[in-house]
Amino acid sequence: MQTLVIKTDNRKNATLLANFLESLQYVKSVVLQSGSNDKMLTSEDWTKPGRVATDEEIEHRIYEAENSMEFTFNEAKDYVYKTIEKCQKSPK
């Protein structure tokens, strides 16, 4: 499945386009989003799909990660392994 992002000049035109796209047999879903997706990603929406992170955002996240040593290397490794194990055990 592929995702297509389209920006329109106003909400009315976006609704008209969305209604047309929904009528097409091969379209699985259409989602209208208000506002702009051009804001910098925050830690809460970093893992959410939507758009590719900019180089500036990637550098910012790397900087944050390097300067927030909450875990030692071994603690982080143990946490990741436990999380992976938990995900593998959960029903799909």
Structure confidence by residue, pLDDT tens digits, 17-56? 888 888 888 888 888 877 655 565 565 555 556 667 778 8
Cβ burial 64-92 (10 Å sphere, 16+ → b, else e): eeeeeeeeeeeeeeeeeeeeeeeeeeeee
- Residue 46 confidence (pLDDT): 56
- Residue 42 confidence (pLDDT): 64
- Residue 6 confidence (pLDDT): 84
pTM of the model: 0.36
- Residue 51 confidence (pLDDT): 65
Q: What whole-number distance in Å separates Cα of residue 26 and Cα of residue 66?
A: 45
